[in-house]
Structures are given as structure tokens and as C-alpha cells.
Structure 1
Amino acid sequence: MTADLSRLPAVDRVLKGATAQALVERYGRTLAVEAVRTALADLRTAKAVADEDGVATLAADKLAARMAPSQRPMFNLTGTVLHTNLGRALLAEAAIAAMAEVLGRPSNLEFDVADGRRGERDDHVRTWLRQLTGAEDATVVNNNAAAVVLLLNSLALGKAVPVSRGELIEIGGAFRVPDIMARAGCRLVEVGTTNRTHLRDFEAAIGPETAMLMKVHPSNYAVVGFTHSVPEAELAALAHKHGLPFANDLGSGQLVDLERWGLPHEPTPREALQAGADLVTFSGDKLLGGPQCGIVVGRKDLIQKLNKNPLKRALRLDKGRLAALEATLRLYADPDRLAERLPTLRLLTRPAAEIDAVAHRLLPAMTRALTGQAEVAVEACRSQIGSGALPVDLLPSHCLSIKATGTRSGAAVERLAAAFRALPMPVVGRIEDGCLKLDLRCLEDEAAFIAQLAHLKMPGGA
């Protein structure tokens, strides 16, 4: 029997009800009217009827979905600490507070309070970067790709830059070094082979059009076996012999030696400069543990050339990220408490025994939530650092391994993963060996994780 659509209330009648008035109060009249009209249109399409309150309730659901923030906090249980898709480094409390302090009010971003004149925004971090890297000068832009573009466009526009074939990397999102170099306006000269590049290869590539020599730190992969790469000090000496600058793109970057905390060594900007690099680029939101930014440190005269490039203005940092970066850099002045205060280092150095204890505390609640649907077990696993840092080095960890009852089918495990992603605070793990693995290295709020298990809704046939 077809519904009598003439019984649907008019927009004005719906808006007079208490539910609709609450929508107007919360979201404003324009959005409330639009939502009511959309709800009525949907009812007509579905050939369904509802009274004034029913229409307003449908409108409320639509508005709630529309006005919800598109970015949501999540539980990163993938086992990748610096997960690019999940926002990379978590900011330290000091960095978050520093951002909040300046974002809601005017600040001395480019103002010298002492003499009342215009200031330079990089001054807020320049002194710390010089101190922590040993560089003559420093500048910052919005990410490391931008730092490389600015460097090449400033020093090698229209000229040639030799790079080893083994370093022509591609990282996530089809980001390729050759493409970046082309966009920067310089000409890539490939030298050596994928697995072996010698100093003589660079020597042969240097000509009248050569602007600089460049080294790119491998990301997300490692070449092993019959390999050879030119040591940085030798590349720097060759560049300087020909009157050329030598740039080293470290990619991830770290300001301290991670071996102090039992982690594998990652090259630092200070080491790169000591090896002879004139400019070093690296990221702020990876191993450094700060906000998204790209950092360039090195010779003062070269940094000045970068800062005079009009691109610098297009790529500069806003006041919030500068405040967060400055606060993060300050933490490095106290290395004894760095692992305690910097979330990235705290998570990377978390003992496997501590993670195992978390897993066993969570196991009973997980088992109850999945009774009759899936089997849960604690298993040893390996975490990775992520974001291209130390790609072959894994960290011992523990996970909750969830297997759909009676099957290891791909469809069943995908349904398990979807159910956890549908929680109020989505949980993202990894699928491996027919199971959903929730690596607990990055789980610090156990209470919030357990509390929302009551909302877990398993689809039929999981």
C-alpha cells in the first residue's frame, strides 16, 4: 500500500517543534532548515511518512553526521609507530600547550618586542637548531619535500645535480625524487648503478653545468648484498674540490643518537655536517617527534640564499607549528628525560614486557566482547618505526591476535577489521595470517579502549 505523502508535515510545522528548535539553537537556522528539507525529500523518495518530531529526528541525525569533525582520534594498533596515514609523530604535551598559547591570540611571530620592529619568524627556532646540530644557520618550511624543493630551486635552477641511481627513491603517494628535482627546475644526472656507485662515477658526472652534489637517504627500503655507496665525507671532499656545495637529504632525521636507548642508529644532522655536508634537510614530524615541517641546516651563506627565494614565503611555517617545533626542540636540551617527555621516543623504547602485560590485561575484556564471534590470543610480534626510518629494523612487541571463529577467510577477517574501525574511536590494526593483529605498542589509554568495546557490533557471519 502506497504511503500518503500528503501527510508529511510542512517545513514550518517541523521547525516549530522542540526537537527542531534545539537544532536551530545548536547549528543555526540555515543549516536546520536545510536538514529538515533534506529529511522530507528522503521520506518522499522512500515513499514513507513521519510526523513533525520524526522528521526533526531524521534531520538531527543528518546534521550530526554533517557537523562531525572529519578528523577523528584513533587507536593506532598497526604496529607502525610513525604511521603516515595516521598523522605520524604524536606531539609532546609541551608542544600542544605551546600551540594553544599562540593560536587563539596575537603573537610576536614576526615582531621584535625589544625594538618594536619587524622580526623574522625563523628566529623562534634558529638558535635551538644551531645548538642541536652544530650548524651555522637554519631555516624551516612546511615539510621535508618542500625543503628539498627550496634547496634545489635556490642553488641548482637550470643546472645539473648528480645523484646515485641507488638513491632515486619513491615513498608513499608515488612521491619520487626525480619528479621533485624536475619540479624544482634542475636536471637530474643519474650516476652509478642501483646497487653500486663509486666516487669515480660522481667525478665523471661533474661538468660546467653541475650545480652541486647530493645524497638522498634511502627510505622504506634497504639495498643489501653486493653493494657500494660513496661515504659522505668523500662526496663532500669531491664537491669542495670542484667548488660545489654538497647537500644531504636525511629524510626522517633525528637530533640524538638513538643507540643511547637501545635503538638502531639513524644518521643525525650533526653527523652529516661533520662529514662535510654544506646543507642537510630532514623532517620534523618523524623521528624528531615534532609537528609537520621540513628543516634545513648548514652554511649561513647558503641558508641566506634559500631565504631570499620567493618560494620560501609560499612554504613557510605558521605560528602554531613554529611554537610546537620550538617546544619540541627545547625538550632535547634535557636528553635524560627525553624518552619520558617525547611520545615518539617513549613509544619506540617501550619494553616488550610492558606491552605483554598490557595484552594480558586486555585479554579478558576482548574475549568477552567477541564471545561466539572470534577467538583472541596474546602473541609476540614485531613493530616497525615507520615513515621511512630504519625500514629493516623491527622492535619486539606483543599483540592481540583475533581470528573469526571457525574460519580464516579473507572476508571474515575484513569484517573483523571493519567492526573495530566502526567503534566510536576507530581501532586500526593489521591483517596478517588470516587474523586481525592489534599491536599494543602504541596503546597507552587502556581504559578508553576497554570502555568502547561495549559498542563493538560484529556483522553476521564474522
Structure 2
Amino acid sequence: MVDTDPRRHIPRTDHLLALPEVVAAGESRSQATIKAIISEAQTAARAGEIPVAEVAPTIISRLSSDSASSLTPVLNATGIIVHTNLGRAPLSEPARQAVADAAGYVDVEMDLVSGKRSKRGTGATQALLRACPEAEDALVVNNGAAALLLAVTALRGADVSGGNRAGSDGSAGGGRTDAAGEIVISRGELIEIGAGFRLPDLMATTGSQLREVGMTNRTHLDDYAQAITDQTASLLKVHTSNFRVEGFTAAVEISQLRELADEHDLPLIADLGSGLFEPDPYLPEEPDIASALAAGADVVIVSGDKLLGGPQAGLVLGRSDAVQRIAKHPLARAMRTDKLTLAAIEATVANTENPVQEALHINLDRLKERTERLAELVSGVVVAHDGRVGGGGAPGVPLPGWAVELPEYFAAKLRTGDPAVVARVHQGRCLIDLRCVPEAEDQRIIDAIARIRGVDLGDGEVGSSEL
């Protein structure tokens, strides 16, 4: 009986390694990378995912790709500005240039005049302080969760308003007997964010105990006051950035907690999440750094890659004694950020425009014109569509706009095409929202849809400047 299984004819590894194109790729690619690509193509053929005849061409195509990583650039046509699955905030052009400039040797910890070692991240710190005059000092760490963990650990038992109740060993002073202490927080602020990450789990790693006060929907100042004992290490205020509680509710403001913190010589930490420097009329309920500091928070914590529009980072701004205490804690070294992030943060903060702010404050008349033009060229239908901030920012706040409606099957084909276009799938429809798509990229989306339809736009094809 003749064996007709084509998988028996999958090329051997040594034969594939001897292909001229593969040998040439070895001048720039590591042998481990080349062998992994070959193995993946062979595995795909065995699974029937690609024809046996396509094994060698697939390998050659991947090795000839200009991409230096497995990450695929995408066009975000979902209408969600800070899309966690797509890397959150896209960097501005100044920030991208800053990252490129910092990729080589840079004076990240050297004073070029004296030739001596200098303080790390000075430029980023100065940029943050210029953007937020209410802050006396600032610190950049690797992400928001790290900033919170570091703050509650370093400030436990510290009177950052003047004196210092902590002993030389870092334990709580002022009669407090528990070195870890208790962190007082409202039950309504015990949040869970993406991937099952829960705030109480993070706090548990510090060795501290969470002292939950109030109810899920209503917490009063007296709830905090009654919870404070000799074991209390700090008061923590967390913005519920990814959900809203409506109806019969009550919460305690930072200004009220400041009075209580002063009465008991306790640090007041505010985790705001999304990263606005000042109030934004488009997001009236979203807290901002300046207001939180003015209200009395000792330190404010925000993420760099949300509404700030920068790279992933945790930013700590506030009173100089509090920030310096955090910066000098041994954990700060483990949570230190790299030169690329510092460069991107500085460039983001120093420049007024970035893709996040542009998408948030987009000209709606122009957005509608672009959407209508796209619909006309690809035979789609314009529908009302609300964008979102995303990334845990401004939950439930709609950003009015429009989208082009296409059959649902377009979504998968667009995601796996070139360019990769990520649209929204909703109620059996593929919705293409141009809010987060740079106008110069409109034509690429038109072309991608046309290829799926098998349509040649011919003379109907237009440049992005005409859309």
C-alpha cells in the first residue's frame, strides 16, 4: 500500500539549514532563532496548518522579515484609546525619538562636565516637576503597581508632614508595635484590575494588613477615624479607575483624610491610576495629580502609559520628604526603570501633544468626514459609535463618534492581514472606528478592506490627504 501522507515529505532540518537564503540569514540571525523558525514551520506542516510545499518558503519569508521582534505593529480601529491588549498608550514622535537617542550610550548616571557619577533620572524628574508645580519631588519606577507597593512599604510609620515616627530600623514609631502595620482603606476601593490582579494581594506582599472600613457603596470619615490604632501605618485612597458605583453612595475626599492624617501623624497616599496632570473637561470625574496634591495627599501615584500618553512606568509625585524616603528604600533599586523609559517619560511630559490626547480631543467634524469617506470607498455603513478611554481610565464615559459597519468576518481577516487592523466586533458586526488611527493611515485601511473584498479600487483610490 502506497503511503500518500504528504507530511512524510516535510524537509529535514539539515536540508533546510543548507538553503542559501537560510545560510545568508545566519550572518545576522542567531542559530537558535533560525532553528526555532525552522522547527515552528515543520510543526505547522505536521499539524496541517500549512502545506508541506510551503515549509521552505515560510521559513525564508520569516527570515527575510525586517522585524527584529515577534511584536506586530497594528492599526487600532477599536475606538479604545488606551488599549491594554495593544500596548496601552502609543508614544508621541518626540518620545520615540528620545527612545532611539537613548538606545546607545547616554549620560543616564554621569555628569559630563565633571566626569563623575550623577543622580539617575534627573531630566525626567525635572520635566515632571515643571508639568506639576504642586509637587515638590518626583520619582519614576517601572510600573504603577510597583509605585504603590514601594510607597506603602517605605512610608509605613512615617510622619512625612514634618517629624518622623519611624525608628532607625524602619519600624513604626510613636508607640506602634507592629513593624508592618495596618493600611486603612475603604472597602469600596479594594479593586481588581486586568488578568485577575487584586489590590489586597499586592498589599499582602508588603507584610502589612489591610484594615477595611465602610461599605462597598458608602464610606464615611468616621469609619476611618474609628479604624486608626497604634498599629496603623498609613491611610490609602485608591481611585476606582475601572468601574463606577452609582446610586446610594458616599466617599471621603482627600482633603478630609488630610485632617485625619495630621491628627494622627500618618502618611496619606493617593493612587489615581490614569495620570492626568490637571482637570480635563472631557473627563469631569477623572481625578488629577495637581488637585490631589493640593487637597493634601503626601504622595500621588499614577501610571505613565495611560492618559499621560507615555511608556509603562509608575510615577510618584508629592512632598519631598515622602518621595525621598521612597526613593531611598532598598526596594526602589529592584523597581528602578531603565534609560529608555526615563527618556520617553521626559519627552512625553515636555511636549503638549501626543496620540492619546489627540484621540481624546479629536475634531469630531473631521472624524465624521473621514468615516463617511471610508464607508463610501469600502461599501460600508456609517453608524454612531462611542469610543472609550480604556486602560482603566474614565469608566463608563462615552466618547461620541462614528464607525464603519462591515460584516463580522472582516474582523479576523483584518487582524491577520498586512497591515494588521484591529477592529471592534460587536453584535455580529465588524466596526471600524478611526478615532485612534492616524489620518495618514486611512488609505492603508481602505486598501486592506478592498483586498478582502477582492475589489480593485482603481481610480477610486484616494490618498489620505483627500479623506
- Residue 176 (structure 2) pairs with residue 180 (structure 1): no
CA distance in 2, matches of 1:38, 1:84: 28
CA distance in 2, matches of 1:193, 1:236: 21
Q: Secondary structure at the match of 1:211?
A: strand
- Residue 267 (structure 2) pairs with residue 245 (structure 1): yes
Q: Secondary structure at the match of 1:429?
A: strand
Post-superposition shift, 1:152?
A: 1.1
Q: Pick from 440, 446, 450 the counterpart of residue 450 of structure 1.
A: 446
- Residue 302 (structure 2) pairs with residue 298 (structure 1): no
Post-superposition shift, 1:18?
A: 4.9
Which structure 1 segments of 5+ residues have no match? 332-337, 368-375, 404-412
**1:238 to 1:378, Cα distance in 2 relative to 1, 3 A:** same
**1:111 to 1:418, Cα distance in 2 relative to 1, 3 A:** same
Q: Higher helix share goes to which structure? A: 1
Instruction: Give per-residue Cα distances to partners, 1:131-155, cap 9 Å, x unaligned.
Output: 3222121111011111000001112
Instruction: Give per-residue Cα distances to partners, 1:109-135, cap 9 Å, x unaligned.
Output: 111223322111132222222232221
Post-superposition shift, 1:453?
A: 3.2
**1:422 to 1:217, Cα distance in 2 relative to 1, 3 A:** same
Q: Secondary structure at the match of 1:290?
A: coil
CA distance in 1, matches of 2:234, 2:266: 5
Identity of aligned residues (%): 39
Conserved in 2, the CA contact under 8 Å of 1:72 and 1:425?
no
Q: Secondary structure at the match of 2:293?
A: helix
CA distance in 1, matches of 2:199, 2:41: 50
Instruction: Give per-residue Cα distances to partners, 1:373-425, cap 9 Å, x unaligned.
Output: xxx3111111111111111211111101123xxxxxxxxx3x43211211112
Conserved in 1, the CA contact under 8 Å of 2:136 and 2:319?
yes
Post-superposition shift, 1:69?
A: 2.7
Look up the match of 2:393: 389
Conserved in 2, the CA contact under 8 Å of 1:20 and 1:56?
no
Q: Pick from 427, 438, 441 the counterpart of residue 433 of structure 1.
A: 427
- Residue 363 (structure 2) pairs with residue 351 (structure 1): yes
Instruction: Give per-residue Cα distances to partners, 1:41-80, cap 9 Å, x unaligned.
Output: 998999xx999xx875464256568987321111111121
Look up the match of 1:111: 110
CA distance in 2, matches of 1:165, 1:194: 5
CA distance in 2, matches of 1:10, 1:211: 64
Look up the match of 2:378: 366
**1:183 to 1:20, Cα distance in 2 relative to 1, 3 A:** closer
Post-superposition shift, 1:256?
A: 2.7
Which residue type is aligned with residue 216 of structure 2?
T
Which structure 2 segments of 5+ residues have no match? 157-178, 455-467
Which residue type is aligned with residue 362 of structure 1?
L
Q: Secondary structure at the match of 1:184?
A: coil
CA distance in 2, matches of 1:275, 1:55: 63
Q: Say what the alpha-carbon RMSD is for the aligned residues.
A: 3.1
Conserved in 1, the CA contact under 8 Å of 2:241 and 2:272?
no
Conserved in 2, the CA contact under 8 Å of 1:289 and 1:328?
yes
Q: Secondary structure at the match of 1:361?
A: helix
Post-superposition shift, 1:451?
A: 2.8
Look up the match of 1:373: none
Q: Normalization by structure 1: what TM-score?
A: 0.83
Q: Secondary structure at the match of 1:399?
A: strand
Conserved in 2, the CA contact under 8 Å of 1:352 and 1:397?
yes
Q: Secondary structure at the match of 2:385?
A: strand
Look up the match of 1:342: 354
Conserved in 2, the CA contact under 8 Å of 1:199 and 1:235?
yes
**1:343 to 1:29, Cα distance in 2 relative to 1, 3 A:** closer
Which residue type is aligned with residue 176 of structure 1?
R
